[in-house]
Amino acid sequence: MTDTLNVLIVDDTVTYRSILSNIITNIPDTALAATASNGKIALAKLEHLKVDIVLLDIEMPEMDGLETLSILNKSHPDIGVVMVSGLNKSSADITIKALELGALEFIPKPDGLNVEDSKNELQLKLTQVFRHFRIKRLAKLNAGKSMVATSSSVSTLTAHKPVAPLPPTPLTIKAPPGHFDVLVIGVSTGGPNALSEVLPLLPDDLNIPVLLVQHMPPIFTESLASSLNRKSKLNVKEAAHHDLVLPNNVYIAPGGKHMEVFKSGNDVRILIHEGPPENSCRPAVDVLFRSISPVYGKNVLSLIMTGMGSDGALGVKSLKQAGCYSLVQSEKTCVVYGMPKAVEELRLADESVDLPLLAQRITQLVKKGRDS
């Protein structure tokens, strides 16, 4: 039986509802369930429709995207939500909040300059998001079947006892590989939510800089940095050309541009440029990671988190050749197990760590390396 995804489109603009409807009809195994012009109408339709994914506009009358998402999370937690965002500062700020609340991903609206190219890009991105949503849902379904099979075989005395949720896999404490001078992070789909579970838990005396690539277009990375900075003990900022790289600062590559580091006398500074995309990404994790070893040598802690594709894998390979220590986010805690999987398949990961334990593990490694 075909696993058809039923999609509800929520947007107050007729044009965008039409564009997205046409895109949905062109994606295999995907059906248009309905459209709605605001969140209030969408929530009413969900009461009598079978819907798997909602494409949710940010700015709408009566009930906007953020309020709708908050209600959806409570009333329909199994429905995946993809935010449809305009390319302006207000929409970017709200989109980041939505992603931190658990939206799967966001897609920018066509900008009116190259509408056909934008539509093709939207279709490709939605196809990828839907494919990974299916994979995640199937894994959850199979896990549920396994639990049912297991519980049916236990005695009637224990079958009705409440089952506590499984805790995160305990950390396997390995000997610190040595002294660390920098933490480098690559992340994509699911990143804002995952980063909000890691960066705010890092201590204010980490005493090394953090360099981070999150796949995002312009404007959005500035909003992401501002949001994370409000929650974090470390200073989080969107990186600027020639920024001085300092301890206890997190530098996020600006959307649409690559970020590298270089030596300037005794200092380390940031280089921002618009070189060609790599792995269809700009910023690209590989570009940043390649620049790290010539500056920091082997004293590098790398982390690849949730995301589609394989960006970062070759970058980690170049870091491992210099002697870095490599962490990846565990499969079960990724929204999309693509980028970490690529690193693991190349046998480049020293540890796979559950998301709730990543900040703790980073802190352990950095502080033990410093004290040894």
Catalytic residue numbers read 188, 215, 311
Distance CA 230, CA 41 (A): 34
Please list the residues that pair with 201 across neighbouring strands.
none
Cβ–Cβ < 8 Å for 84, 16: yes
Q: How many residues does the chain have?
A: 372
Residues 6+ apart with CB under 8 A from 94: 58, 59, 64, 65, 66, 85
* Longest CA span, the chain: 72
CA 114 – CA 69 distance, rounded (Å) = 30
Q: What angle do CA 247, 307, 190 make, to 5 degrees?
A: 80
Pairing between β-strand 258-264 and β-strand 351-353 as defined by DSSP bridges: unpaired
Sign of CA dihedral 2, 340, 119, 84: positive
Single out the residue of 220, 242, 228 nearest to residue 85, CA to CA: 220
**Count of C-beta atoms within a 10 Å radius of residue 230:** 9
Question: What would the two tokens of residue 85 be?
Answer: 């965002």
